[in-house]
Amino acid sequence: MSSEKIHCILGQRKLKQADIVHARGHNNREEEVGNSDRSAPAPAVIYGPEDAWIGVRDRFKDLGIRPRKGAVLALELMMTTSPEWWPSEDPIRYAKKLRGFIRRSMRYLLGRYPRCAIVSITLHLDEQTPHLHVIVLPVRKRVDARFADKGERWTLSARGDLPPKREKGAPPIDYSTFWRGGIGSRGQMAFEQTMFAEVMAPLGLERGRVWSGAPNKPNSVHQAEMRDAIASANFERETGARVREQLEDDRAEIADIRVEIECQRVELEASLARAREEEARLAEQRRALHAERAEFEEKLQKARAWKAKQDANIARVKAEHDRLVKQAPLVADLAEASIKALRSIDLDRVGARERDAVMRAAYAIGRPLEAAESVHWTIDAARREIKASSASRAL
Q: How much is the pLDDT for 263? A: 93
Write the burial class of residue 370 (CB in 10 Å: 0-12 exposed, 13-18 middle, 19+ buried): exposed
Of 185, 216, 247, the residue that ends a domain is 216
Q: Are 139 and 155 in contact (CB under 8 A)?
A: yes
Q: How much is the pLDDT for 389? A: 64
Q: Which domain holds residue 199?
A: 8-216
Residue 29 maps to a domain:
yes
Instruction: With CA atoms as reference, report the closest residue to 160 among 101, 116, 113.
Output: 113
123 and 45 both lie in a single domain: yes
Residue 228 maps to a domain:
no
Distance separating alpha carbons of residues 174 and 194, to the nearest angstrom: 12
Q: How much is the pLDDT for 193? A: 83
275 and 363 both lie in a single domain: yes
103: pLDDT strictly greater than 70 = yes
Q: Are 142 and 155 in contact (CB under 8 A)?
A: yes
237: pLDDT strictly greater than 60 = yes
36 and 176 both lie in a single domain: yes
Q: How much is the pLDDT for 258? A: 92
270 and 197 both lie in a single domain: no
Strongest mean pLDDT among 123-132, 213-222, 301-310, 386-395: 301-310
Provide the percentage of residues in the chain whose pLDDT is more than 70.
71
Q: What is the CATH number of the domain that holds 124?
A: 3.30.930.30
Indicate the DSSP class of residue 32: -
- For residue 64, what pLDDT band results from cuts at 50, 70 and 90? confident
* Tens digits of residue pLDDT in 252-282: 999 999 999 999 999 999 999 999 999 999 9
Task: Tally the domains of the chain.
Answer: 2
Distance separating alpha carbons of residues 17 and 70, to the nearest angstrom: 8
Q: How much is the pLDDT for 270? A: 92
Q: How much is the pLDDT for 37? A: 63
Q: How much is the pLDDT for 1? A: 42
* Tens digits of residue pLDDT in 339-394: 677 666 666 666 677 667 766 766 666 665 555 555 455 555 655 665 676 666 55
Helices (H), ranges, the chain: 17-27, 52-63, 91-112, 186-200, 219-343, 352-394
- Average pLDDT over every residue of 14-42: 75
Q: Are 87 and 150 in contact (CB under 8 A)?
A: no
143: pLDDT strictly greater than 80 = no
71: pLDDT strictly greater than 60 = yes
pTM of the model: 0.53
Residue 2 maps to a domain:
no
Residue 233 maps to a domain:
no
First to last CA, the chain: 106
Q: What is the mean pLDDT of the chain?
A: 79
165: pLDDT strictly greater than 90 = no
129: pLDDT strictly greater than 90 = no
Identity (one letter) of the amino acid at 16? Answer: K
Q: How much is the pLDDT for 271? A: 92
212: pLDDT strictly greater than 70 = no
* Tens digits of residue pLDDT in 213-236: 666 666 667 667 777 888 888 898
* Tens digits of residue pLDDT in 198-209: 998 998 888 877
Provide the percentage of residues in the chain whose pLDDT is more than 90.
20
Residue 226 maps to a domain:
no
Edge-to-edge strand ranges of the sheet holding 118-124: 8-15, 74-81, 131-136, 118-124, 44-47
- Listed range (87-96, 169-178, 255-264, 271-280) with the worst mean pLDDT: 169-178
170 and 296 both lie in a single domain: no
Residue 271 maps to a domain:
yes
